[in-house]
Structure 1
Amino acid sequence: MLEALSSEWSRVCLSWETVERIYTTSKRCDSTWISFNATAFEADLQNKLFGQHIASSIILKAVSGFMSNENPKKPLVLSLHGRTGTGKSFVSKLIAENIFKVGTDGSFIHVVPAHIHFPHESKLETYKTQLQQWIKDNVTNCERSIFVFDKMDKMHPGLIDSIKSYLDYYFKLDGVSYRKAVFIFLSNTGADIITQKALELWREGRDREEIELKDLQTSLSESAFNNIENGFWHSSLIDENLVDFFIPFLPLEHRHVVQCVMAEMRARNIQPDKKVADQVARGLNYFPKFDRVFSSQGCKTVESNLNFYM
């Protein structure tokens, strides 16, 4: 009998702990849990994101300006383009970590892998309705919600246009304001354009830091708009200029991969070892075939490769 009562009491206590956790989580969308520091964000970009001078500069200004504005006219909308492993997902994580004290563990950061959540073209109209309602519910719950749409190049064309109104210059829609939300789109579309530009400068013996946003932004938006095999194909988001920045992520060189390995060592509280970092970086694949200028995987496999060499 006592054992049964003890078990029942444990169950009740657990239930109250769950309620308390849910209540605490629901209170995190306020000044207690939202704490953006532009200086700290800049330090994170400088110390953790390598080889991306354009992305670091634009994202710092865009996010800092947006977060300091108490009355933005529209949500912040960023479209990040580049090869796998160049830092697109990573910088999205840095943005979330610098806005919410709980970082990506909070319930207001939403990562949407397009190829997983919207696999069937035949269900496109259903997906549109579901996506609209899901975003509305989340922004109603927290006006500072962050939405990261990964694999935009795998999304069915036309789907993303279903949320166009949420990204536009509306004070409120059906009683809900979306103006303080952040929408981030990640895509491989335009990666060839970015790589070609970087390779041209390398062959001319010039510094990659000479590449500016204006050199690529128009090409990226046009590539996204005209490429039928991506979610932005003929999208009204582009046509009506609702994407604030199309941001290129350059292919990474050997030296940048070394920096990634050193950062991973520091994250594991391991004394950074340049020899080991160089060994890990040299073990990756590079392209073009004979020049071996850029890392094929970027920094994506650094963690697993470091395990091997350590």
Structure 2
Amino acid sequence: MSDRSSSTSTSQTEGELDEEMESEEGKNENERAGSPVPSLSSFSTSLRAVVRIKQKYQAMKKRRQEMALEPGVLGAFAGAAPRSSPKIFTFDGLTPSAFSSISSITKKKRRRRRRVLFPNRGSCRTVPKQERSRAMYCLYLLLAIVFVQVYNAIENLDDHVLRYDLEGLDKTLRREVLGQQGAVDGLLSHLKEYLSTYVHNKPLVVSLHGPSGVGKSHLGRLLAGHFRSVVGETLVLQYYVLHHCPQEADAQQCARNLSAIISEMVERAEEEEKIPLFIFDEVEHMHDEILDALWQLVASKQSNEYLNAIYLFLSNLGHAQITKHVLHNSSSSSMAMTASIHHSNLVKELTPILRNTLEKLHPLWSDADILPLGLLEKGHVMECFLDEITREGFYPDRANIERLAGEIEYYPVVGGREYSQTGCKQVVAKVNLL
């Protein structure tokens, strides 16, 4: 309303000014019409009238500006708010600080405009559903297939181990082999690990070493009999060097014959999907030509059938180191130590010593797992007499067994233990004399 009143008052003043100017101009025209020939005095009169009108107009304009500066006076006059004259914007009064403030204000406005506004919680009452990808079903199917394959592989491994009846072999060796618990445990561990699968990257080579009469040949016979019952007679070879190749002159021919026999057996075992067993006794008498042929078969990777085989070497090589180590460490070992722990420690301590000695003789033992057999105590010798007497059908008299065991030669007592110099080597001969 104030703007309308101010605009009406301003228009009224301008209208009055125009009417006065028109009246003055009308008078001048009348005077010019009354006098057909204007004179110098009339021209000066009209000039003074124009100057006077201009001065009056400037005075009214000045008065109107003053009234605009005084809102009380203009409000009283015409009953409306004063009209403010338009302001012209220039950059004359601005300073660098003002420019920085203006730029900061514009930047803030831009930042505010970039903000993302989220809807209120009240508007989104339901959680949006996430669509499940169809690829997840394929992933579940793949995991199920892998699980079934792994389960079948484990079942096949168990079936493969059960085929060789290693539990029965374990019971037989623990019952028949006396005083060699550590070597038996190590041998069974190698067999279980190797026979758990049919595909291998190298054959299993185990070398048993020990003094005379500690049960090496007996252990080989037990293994041969067990494997003949599970894989067949044709897949087990017992090779006695003094029997199959006694003459050194025939060593080259013996090596060729042995290579041909092994090749034929591994091919047959590959067809039947079985693992053959090769037992070589009295290896200390084996000629270098035969050792070289065996090393080529063990270390070669011609085909898969040569990798699926078990080689067992029995010898008394390194018996001096074994005897010295057992007699020297028996005094430091505790009597309360069980037999299994004692023999396990013996295997761990003697294995690196024997390996250094055997690798100097032939590189065949660099690829072999070495298991030492310790000396037999007097109690083990008495058990050997008991088994042999029972097998021959004699009455197992305790006094007779102690008498026969006393005829065996022993090392001096060390650490409360009495070790036999010949083991159970003379047991069969003495029982035959009864």
| TM-score strictly above 0.5 | yes
CA distance 1:269–1:74, change in 2 (3 Å) = farther
Q: Equivalent residue for 2:244?
A: 117
Q: Against the structure 1 CA distance between its residues 67 and 294, is the aligned structure 2 distance closer, same or farther, given a 3 Å change threshold? A: same
Shift of 1:200: 1.0
Where 1:149 maps in the other structure, the secondary structure is strand
Partners of 1:58 and 1:84 in 2: how far apart?
A: 20
Give the structure 1 partner of residue 384 of structure 2. 260
Question: Do residues 242 (structure 1) and 367 (structure 2) align?
Answer: yes
- Between Structure 1 and Structure 2, the one with more strand by share is 1
2:288 to 132, 157, 160: 157
C-alpha root-mean-square deviation of aligned residues, in Å? 3.1
- Which residue of structure 1 lines up, in the alignment, with residue 265 of structure 2? 138
The residue matched to 1:147 in structure 2 has which SS? strand
Q: Distance in 1 between matches of 2:426 and 2:400?
A: 15
Residues 152-200 of structure 1, C-alpha deviations (whole Å, 9 max, x = no match): 1112235312233422373716xxx023322111111111111111101
Alignment partner, residue 219 of structure 1: 353
Distance 2:316 2:266 in 1: 27
| SS at structure 1 position matched to 2:301 | coil
How far apart in 2 are the matches of 1:171 and 1:304? 47
Cα deviation for residue 84 of structure 1 reads: 1.3
Deviations 1:204-250 (A, max 9, x none): 35457163322011111222222xxxxxx232x23xx421x111111
Q: What is the rounded CA distance, in whole Å, between the counterparts of 1:273 and 1:142 in structure 2?
A: 48
Q: CA deviation at 1:56?
A: 1.1
Q: Which moved more, 1:204-213 or 1:185-194?
A: 204-213
1:106 aligned to which of 233, 250, 257:
233
Answering whether residue 180 of structure 2 is matched by residue 49 of structure 1, we say no
Change (3 A) 1:266 1:73: farther
Of the two, which has the highest radius of gyration? 2
Give the corresponding residue for 1:280: 404
Gaps of at least 5 residues in structure 2 are 1-158
Structure 1 stretches of 4+ with a deviation exceeding 6 A read: 289-292
* Residue 128 in structure 1 maps to residue 262 in structure 2: no
**Larger deviation: 261-270 or 149-158?**
261-270
Write the distance in 2 (CA, Å) between the matches of 1:179 and 1:269: 45
Question: What's the CA shift string for 1:248-272, capped at 9, x where partnerless?
Answer: 1111111111122223345456664
1:22 equivalent in structure 2: none
- SS of 1:250's partner is coil
Query: What letter corresponds to residue 174 of structure 2 in structure 1?
Result: Q
In structure 2, the partner of 1:187 is 315
The structure-2 alpha-carbon separation of the partners of 1:200 and 1:89, relative to structure 1 and needing over 3 Å to count, comes to same
CA distance in 1, matches of 2:223, 2:389: 22
Matched to 2:405, the amino acid is A
Describe the SS at the equivalent of 1:57.
helix
User: Secondary structure of the residue that 1:148 maps to in structure 2?
Assistant: strand
Is the CA contact (8 Å cut-off) linking 1:82 and 1:191 kept in structure 2? yes
Number of residue pairs matched? Answer: 263
> CA 1:125–1:303 in structure 2 vs 1: closer, same or farther (change >3 Å)?
closer
| Alignment of 1:297 onto 2:428 | no
Alignment CA distance shift 1:304-1:102 (3 Å)? farther
Q: Which amino acid aligns with 1:149?
A: F
Q: Which amino acid aligns with 1:285?
A: E
**Cα 1:263/1:171, change in 2 over 3 Å:** farther
Gaps of 5+ in 1: 1-30, 227-232
The letter of the residue matching 1:60 is L
Corresponding residue number in structure 1 for 2:167: 39
Is 2:217 the partner of 1:89?
yes
160-169 vs 215-224, which moves further:
160-169
Deviations 1:260-310 (A, max 9, x none): 22233454566644333322221222235999932222112322322334x
Structure 1 181/269 Cα, relative in aligned 2: closer, same or farther at 3 Å? farther
User: What is the deviation of 1:136?
Assistant: 0.9
- Structure 2 equivalent of residue 79 of structure 1: 207
Structure with the larger helix share: 2
Going from structure 1 to structure 2, the CA distance change for 1:214 and 1:283 (only over 3 Å counts) comes to same
Give the 3 Å change call, closer, same or farther, for CA 179–263 of structure 1 in structure 2.
farther
Distance 1:265 1:108, change over 3 A: farther
Which amino acid in 1 is paired with 2:350?
L
1:196 to 309, 324, 330: 324
Render the CA deviation track for 1:99-146: whole Å, top value 9, x for unaligned: 23189x934332222234334444444333222212112322335332
